[in-house]
């Protein structure tokens, strides 16, 4: 199942006291829908999921879905390194009307491939909602192998994968063995075009917060068969794709949202805000791309 071609993993806006700013979350959600996005992932890791509470997540799911309605799909980030916690959150997310779920490979625990299978199988069984898997070995320390994804794809409501392994051979193997209707998304903005070339569906983006329209132009060109224009967009946007990781995500993208009138606020510890050198770099980067 495809959730669309461009979804942004939304940051969680916070006020000066680092409380979740739900009004600004509504503002940001509308901004994303109006600038190239087919959907929004709420309370994923870009949304600081490890440091926001279950109650805050549920309220975010509710207000974002109420705000965008049928204009975009809303995917609830319900992943954690505790299976039971993910199951509980999945049920609560389903109750507030989200369109789907996304769960990251458990971090720190280092489960086996069988452990990964059982983890995601149990989450999928918790609700009838479509579930997107999220593989990001650089953050979780475990790489979910293609054979495990294939097993999971046999579960009817596991319908998609966000793949951020960074290895095109692994992406190729996934496309080779997975059912044709199983959607696969790049989990890294800079890998979007290479993964489209391998037959993938689209991108779960961070850069889409600030260059959603430009990314839409790149994907539209690709799917229209205009590969040269898509390549030109990729090369133009590449500095932004890479530069927004000058320090830990989501610190840079929260900073850059000021250019779009979004008060994204700071980040909760153990993350810290960008330092002046990083801010100067990001300001120059934004002017370079958008100027």
Active site residues: 134, 162
- Per the document, the length of the chain is 291
Q: Spell out the residues 6+ positions from residue 283 whose beta carbon is closer than 8 angstroms to its own.
A: none
Q: What is the phi/psi pair of residue 247, to 5°?
A: -140, 180
Bridge-partner residues for 162, per DSSP?
Answer: 134, 185
Using a 10 angstrom Cβ sphere, with 0-12 exposed, 13-18 middle and 19 or more buried, the burial of residue 244 is buried
Sequence-ordered alpha helix ranges (H) in the chain: 22-34, 54-68, 83-95, 113-126, 137-140, 146-153, 168-177, 192-197, 208-223, 227-243, 251-256, 276-290
Q: Spell out the residues 6+ positions from residue 169 whose beta carbon is closer than 8 angstroms to its own.
A: none
The pair of structure tokens assigned to 264 is 């994204």
Q: How far apart (Å, rounded) are the C-alpha atoms in residues 9 and 3?
A: 13
- Using DSSP bridges, classify how beta strands 6-9 and 73-77 pair: parallel, antiparallel or unpaired: unpaired
Q: Tell me the DSSP string of 20-78.
A: B-HHHHHHHHHHHHHTT-SEEEESSGGGTGGGS-HHHHHHHHHHHHHHHGGGSEEEEE-
Q: Is 186 helix (H, G, I), strand (E, B) or coil?
A: strand
Bridge-partner residues for 103, per DSSP?
Answer: 133
């Amino acid at each position: 199942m495809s959730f669309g071609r461009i979804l942004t993993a939304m940051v969680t806006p916070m006020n000066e006291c680092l409380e979740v700013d739900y009004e600004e979350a509504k503002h940001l959600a509308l901004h994303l829908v109006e600038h190239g996005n087919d959907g929004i992932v709420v309370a994923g890791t870009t949304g600081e999921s490890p440091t926001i509470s279950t109650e805050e997540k549920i309220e975010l799911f509710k207000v974002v879905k109420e705000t965008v309605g049928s204009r975009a799909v809303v995917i609830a980030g319900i992943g954690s390194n505790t299976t039971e916690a993910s199951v509980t959150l999945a049920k609560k997310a389903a109750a507030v009307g989200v369109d789907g779920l996304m769960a990251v490979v458990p971090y720190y625990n280092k489960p086996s491939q069988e452990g990964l299978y059982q983890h995601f199988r149990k989450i999928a069984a918790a609700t009838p909602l479509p579930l997107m898997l999220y593989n990001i070995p650089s953050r979780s320390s475990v790489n979910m192998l293609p054979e495990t994804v294939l097993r999971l794809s046999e579960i009817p409501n596991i319908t998609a994968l966000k793949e951020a392994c960074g290895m095109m051979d692994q992406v190729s193997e996934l496309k080779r063995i997975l059912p044709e209707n199983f959607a696969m998304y790049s989990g890294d903005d800079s890998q979007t075009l290479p993964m489209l070339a391998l037959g993938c569906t689209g991108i779960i983006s961070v850069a889409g917060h600030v260059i959603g329209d430009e990314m839409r132009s790149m994907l539209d060109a690709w799917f229209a068969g205009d590969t040269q224009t898509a390549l030109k967009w990729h090369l133009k946007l590449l500095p932004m794709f890479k530069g927004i990781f000058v320090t830990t995500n989501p610190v840079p993208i929260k900073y850059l949202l000021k250019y779009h009138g979004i008060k994204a606020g700071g980040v909760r510890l153990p993350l810290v805000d960008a330092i002046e050198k990083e801010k100067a770099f990001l300001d120059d980067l934004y002017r370079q791309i958008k100027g």
